[in-house]
A and B are shown apart, each in its own frame.
Chain A
């Protein structure tokens, strides 16, 4: 599988996650979001950027409960809860947001 973004082709696995993490650019997230009928807002980007930083530091995509806790700690309680995160990423803040961010499927999401 592959997606087209910014005039380039990006390979993805059978679940739609980017094959090569290093290739990611913001346009990839926009295209993936459009395919899911979402328009990315600043609130979405805040979480996507947070995930990329988390991956940079720990080398894993966090499970959704770990993400929720970490978001609460970093961005405040009103954002560190499932309701808020699911309102942004209806297919699951772990799986969908990680996919947009160019990360692998979260470790520990079952």
Chain B
């Protein structure tokens, strides 16, 4: 296997329930996390709804996988970029999102936020640095 670490970005643009895209994306992220790549997730457009807290899927009869986002930190996936404009356009703020954290191994396991709020322009710069994209 190649020693080179690539920058992988998973782009999430759709609402969590109603289609299978969000869950498929999350599963691929968790499986791919075994490969020691530099992984980051982008949430924009309706994708920001994936991180909204208090989801209840009982009425749509879909598995509620929202709690699984909390496991990302355990899988060393610690960079979740959320686009500020997408949140604002939907009347959401950071407070509407689940608090997602990870423990920083290089900083005495201090608990840190995984969600990083970025502007559309900043998101474009972050995307520019990536090697591989997965779009869901």
Q: Which residues of A contact B (CB under 8 A)?
A: 57-60, 62-63, 65-66, 69-70, 107-110
> What 1/0 flags go to B47-72 for Cβ under 8 Å of A?
00000000000000001110110110
Interface of A is mostly: loop
A2 and B63 CA atoms in complex are apart in Å by 24
Q: Which residues of B contact A (CB under 8 A)?
A: 27, 30-31, 33-34, 63-65, 67-68, 70-71, 74-75
15 contacts between A and B (CB under 8 A): A57-B67, A57-B70, A58-B67, A58-B68, A59-B65, A59-B67, A59-B68, A60-B65, A63-B33, A66-B71, A66-B75, A107-B27, A108-B31, A108-B75, A110-B34
Contact in complex: B63, A63 (CB < 8 Å): no
Contact in complex: B74, A107 (CB < 8 Å): no
A66 and B75 CA atoms in complex are apart in Å by 6
Besides A57-B67, A59-B67, A107-B30, 17 more A-B contacts (Cβ < 8 Å) are A57-B70, A58-B67, A58-B74, A59-B64, A59-B65, A60-B30, A62-B74, A66-B71, A66-B74, A66-B75, A69-B74, A107-B31, A108-B30, A108-B31, A108-B34, A108-B75, A109-B34
